[in-house]
Structure 1
């Protein structure tokens, strides 16, 4: 946040300005480009490279590719919601309600995991870039919407189906119910 003074305080939230203006397009393109790049890699070159890994490496690759896919799906959902708000297809309040289904906390053991160095360099690069984008989006989300971390005592989250929630979220973002 930046505050400019001219007799009265005016606060400009930089993240909010970036998301709800033309400045959002590069971020959207970066995120969706990363989703596309990862999908192409995992379906092509990554599949071939995974077959060359040791059993431990292949297990780590499988687990990490699931995390990567989940992380990118969540990021794409967030970006689609922000784009819908930016285009006037949804109000900020609607986006705030829908984005509560988006999780921006998919972690990765990265180089602390046994066998991380064995994973293909292109794959590790995708993971690192997805984590950087997730960190950026999470910070922007917190600045715009506030921190809405779920209460640890809240048992409601234990009975939800994340795949169903994600499909519902994507349908909402595209205007299909």
Structure 2
């Protein structure tokens, strides 16, 4: 039975597979946003009222900023997982998920449907990664089984080579 007071069961684990999946999603969204805002969206933007056009530009920057923060955070997680960065560095404030300004719902509603979809997709992805950033550090990191095995092998090899000398 589900116990709402048991937060550990509700938390997602930050795993290499999850990091790669989110990274792929973020990069696809980044490419889609770039294509839309740089090419397809130009025609739609030119047809908007001047005030809405400014909102369109602001929201495109917010989408880009969200995606940049997400990708930077995911690359940090990947670097820690691979051993490129020492474990624990991801908890430092400058390595946490950066703040991204919220979208103005009233402005977003006035944008073309394609722009609305991109804004909403970036908000959704940012919210999911933000939950991981917050929840992923509330408890001790789960040791990697592969790293534990490597550590045992290294200790056994050292013991074995010390016995033969």
User: TM-score normalized by structure 2?
Assistant: 0.70
**Cα deviation per residue 1:130-151 (whole Å; 9 max; x = unaligned)?**
10111111111101124xxxxx
* 4+ residue runs over 4 A deviation: 11-14
Asked whether the equivalents of residues 62 and 100 of structure 2 are also in contact (C-alpha less than 8 Å), the reply is: no
**Secondary structure of 1:92's partner?**
coil
Point out the more displaced range, 127-136 or 19-28. 19-28
Structure 2: how far apart are the matches of 1:135 and 1:51? Answer: 30
2:128 aligned counterpart, secondary structure = helix
Higher helix share: 2
In structure 1, the partner of 2:137 is: 145
Q: Structure 1 residues 13, 81: closer, same or farther in 2, change over 3 A?
A: farther
Shift, 1:14, TM fit:
4.2
Tell me the matched-pair count.
133
Q: Match for 1:48 among 43, 52, 59? A: 43
Aligned to 1:82: 77
Secondary structure of the 1:30 match is helix
Counterpart check, 1:68 vs 2:63: yes
CA RMSD, aligned part only? Answer: 2.4
- Secondary structure at the counterpart of residue 117 of structure 2: helix
> What is residue 114 of structure 2 aligned with on the other side?
122
2-side partners of 1:108 and 1:64: how far apart?
A: 7
Using the TM superposition, give the Cα deviation of residue 106 of structure 1 relative to its aligned residue in structure 2, in angstroms: 2.4
Task: Name whichever structure is richer in strand by fraction.
Answer: 1
Structure with higher Rg: it is 2
Contact 1:85/1:92, CA 8 A, preserved across alignment:
yes
Aligned counterpart, 2:158: none
Cα-to-partner distance string for 1:94-140 (whole Å, 9 max, x where unaligned): 2222414x424421112x33xx4331111110000110111111111
Shift of the 128–120 alpha-carbon distance from structure 1 to 2, 3 Å rule, reads same
Match of 2:128 in 1: 136
Residue equivalent to 1:22: 17
Q: Take 2:131 and 2:91, find their aligned partners in 1: how far apart are those partners?
A: 15
